[in-house]
């Protein structure tokens, strides 16, 4: 039972002499007392939410196990408002101010992480993500920060550029050698981001791009994810934890442990080398290495081998799978929104036409590319759920509400980004909302988008992730061909994890961009329709004058315009 329930349950559980604590009638009495307290006497009883969720964690846990929690929390916010009680001791918020109050810096320190929501690694040593102790987190972050500094990004640019070039080259070779033009873009994004992260972390690639397949270790990571989800639910429920753990097959548990062991082996092999090229490990080792058992707390300038093992375990996933997920989602939306793709292609080709102009700095200067990425992060955030925090003992104000101490508080990313109270047309992919030029989006609360969190515990790799994502999307768009995408895709299937396929065209993967693309129908409509207040009839007239009306994709584009056009 949570802390807020104990005042009622303690007297109820004080059994009279001779009674047995497991007597069914006594258990029923305990449950009735707990229910009455949760619904009517708890300090959280004034917050709205479904009654079943208010009296038990089980509905929320089942929602997680069914893979529907992000959708269920969204539905609850739409029904009950910006703050919802989602368990006996937990509140969900969805406003920009709530993000700042829960995760931002504040006098006396930020809200602590809720240990029940974070699983420690197999060796029991906290890493950067799960560390509850602020001193441990601060020391580890200071050491790891050097690997993600501006200088480190400059040093890593050539390496990242090389892997992206390899990806484009492999895709080009795939189609020119007579293979099927249909490829799974999800896999190729994972090949690229895992190779980059492996090289930056351990000084060696996983060779996914070289072999055009996922490394066995990466397949192991994916296969252990469900076990980690079940274990996370079990961690929140001491009573039901044994049952949930029993649901995990022994083979899956073994794979989860093996995943950690492989990360530790990679670290140990890297520590035995005398590599001079900067990587994550060299940044961590700048002040030496401690072989002490557990976590080294004497000063704040060194990390133990066990801590490096733990951080490698989480960074290999956090630094690769999340970027690949975002990129796959972004490419899905670009392929199913031809006008958006056309505008992005036009921006890239008109501003930076030469290959040697593709740099981290130049990619960051493209406003529409930035808008596409932000909208992709909103529509398809790699992390859809929440980062739970515990309100300090004295209580605190969150979004104008007093929240009692000990309460778990969180903002759920997917639910916040798809709320009608935060965004106009929240389920429609519209990068224009981020340009600040369209009155349709004047009421959008854009500062609610915090996919990398914020405050002292925000994502350390945010800048590196943006650099990778911009560079990959730049090259994908630079070689885009208007026939390269299968637009007959359903978002429902994509959200369930079905693979997204694109169709490659030899001319679209050439070294020289297809000049015809500059005058394709999509680009023309994109320029007229999106950059001015001209209506669809004017766009159609432009197409007629250029003799493109008979284009094989005119009807599809016309239908697209008819569906998405919204008067300003």
- Residues flagged as binding site for heme: 459
User: 494, 501, 503: which is closest to 329 by C-alpha?
Assistant: 494
**Assigned token pair, 128:** 């950067």
Helix (H) / strand (E) containing 504: none
Q: What are the two backbone dihedrals, phi and then psi, of residue 132, each rounded to the nearest 5 degrees?
A: -85, -35
Residue with tokens 């359903």: 490
CA separation (Å) from 472 to 155, 176, 298, 323, 382?
18, 21, 42, 10, 17
**Assigned token pair, 437:** 């030029």
User: Which residues are within 8 A (CB) of 385 and not within 5 positions of it... i.e. 6 or more apart?
Assistant: 64, 69, 70, 73, 412, 413, 414
Distance CA 19, CA 225 (A): 45
Q: Indicate if the alpha-carbon torsion angle 422, 419, 319, 494 is positive or negative.
A: negative
Please, what is the angle between helix 216-235 and helix 238-247, to 10°? Answer: 150
CA separation (Å) from 103 to 87, 381, 458, 464?
20, 18, 8, 21
| Collapsed DSSP state (helix, strand, coil) of residue 288 | coil
Binding site members: 459
CA angle (499 as vertex; 497, 501 as ends), nearest 5: 150
**Assigned token pair, 319:** 């630094």
Relative to beta strand 289-290, strand 303-304 is parallel
Distance CA 487, CA 339 (A): 12
**Exposure string (b/e) for 37-55, b if CB count within 10 Å is 16 or more?**
bbeeebebeebebbeebbb
**Assigned token pair, 17:** 């002499």
CA separation (Å) from 143 to 113, 118, 295, 383?
21, 22, 14, 25
CA angle (153 as vertex; 194, 377 as ends), nearest 5: 60
Torsional class of 304: left (φ above 0), alpha (ψ -120 to 50), beta (otherwise): beta
Distance CA 408, CA 90 (A): 5
DSSP 377: H
Distance CA 427, CA 200 (A): 36
Torsional class of 318: left (φ above 0), alpha (ψ -120 to 50), beta (otherwise): alpha
Distance CA 422, CA 410 (A): 17
Distance CA 415, CA 408 (A): 17
Distance CA 407, CA 393 (A): 9
């Amino acid at each position: 039972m949570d802390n807020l329930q104990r005042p009622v349950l303690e007297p109820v559980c004080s059994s009279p002499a001779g009674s047995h604590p497991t007597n069914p009638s006594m258990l029923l009495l305990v449950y009735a007392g707990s229910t009455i307290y949760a619904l009517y006497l708890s300090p959280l009883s004034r917050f709205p939410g479904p009654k079943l969720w208010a009296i038990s964690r089980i509905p929320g846990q089942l929602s997680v196990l069914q893979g529907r929690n992000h959708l269920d929390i969204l539905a609850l916010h739409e029904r009950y408002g910006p703050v919802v009680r989602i368990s006996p001791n937990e509140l969900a918020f969805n406003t920009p101010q709530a993000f700042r109050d829960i995760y931002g810096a504040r006098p006396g320190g930020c809200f602590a992480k809720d240990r029940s929501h974070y699983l420690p690694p197999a060796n029991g040593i906290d890493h950067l993500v799960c560390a509850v102790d602020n001193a441990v987190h601060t020391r580890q972050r200071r050491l790891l920060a050097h690997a993600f500094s501006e200088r480190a990004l400059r040093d890593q640019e050539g390496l990242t550029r090389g892997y992206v070039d390899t990806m484009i080259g492999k895709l080009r070779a795939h189609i020119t050698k007579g293979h099927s033009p249909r490829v799974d873009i999800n896999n190729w994004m994972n090949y690229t981001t895992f190779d980059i992260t492996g090289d930056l972390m351990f000084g060696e690639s996983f060779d996914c791009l070289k072999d055009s397949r996922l490394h066995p270790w990466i397949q192991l990571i994916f296969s252990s994810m469900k076990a980690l989800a079940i274990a996370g639910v079990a961690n929140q429920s001491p009573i039901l934890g044994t049952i949930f753990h029993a649901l995990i097959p022994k083979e899956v548990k073994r794979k989860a442990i093996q995943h950690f062991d492989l990360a530790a082996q990679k670290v140990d092999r890297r520590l035995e080398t005398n590599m001079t090229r900067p990587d994550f490990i060299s940044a961590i080792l700048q002040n030496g290495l401690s072989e002490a058992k557990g976590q080294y707390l004497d000063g704040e300038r060194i990390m133990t081998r066990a801590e490096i093992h733990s951080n490698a375990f989480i960074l290999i996933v956090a630094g690769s799978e999340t970027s690949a997920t975002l990129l796959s989602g972004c490419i899905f939306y670009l392929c199913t929104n031809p006008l958006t793709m056309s505008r992005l292609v036009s921006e890239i080709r008109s501003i930076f036409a030469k290959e040697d102009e593709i740099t981290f700095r130049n990619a960051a200067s493209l406003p529409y590319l930035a808008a596409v990425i932000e909208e992709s992060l909103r529509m398809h955030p790699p992390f859809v759920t929440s980062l739970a925090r515990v309100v300090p003992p004295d209580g605190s104000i969150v979004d104008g509400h007093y929240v009692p101490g000990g309460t778990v508080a969180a903002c759920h990313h997917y639910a916040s980004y798809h709320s009608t109270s935060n965004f106009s047309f929240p389920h429609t992919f519209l990068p224009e909302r981020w340009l600040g030029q369209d009155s349709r989006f004047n009421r959008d609360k854009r500062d609610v988008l915090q996919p990398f969190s914020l405050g002292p515990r925000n994502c350390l790799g945010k800048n590196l992730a943006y650099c990778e994502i911009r560079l990959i999307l730049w090259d994908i768009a630079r070689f885009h061909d208007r026939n390269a995408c299968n637009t007959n895709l359903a978002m429902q299937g994509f959200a369930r994890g079905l693979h997204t396929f694109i169709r490659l065209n030899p001319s679209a993967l050439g070294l020289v961009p297809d000049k015809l693309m500059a005058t394709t129908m999509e680009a023309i409509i994109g320029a007229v329709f999106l950059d001015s207040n001209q209506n669809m009839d004017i766009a159609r007239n432009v197409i007629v004058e250029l003799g493109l009306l008979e284009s094989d994709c005119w009807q599809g584009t016309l239908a697209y315009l008819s569906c998405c056009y919204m008067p300003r």
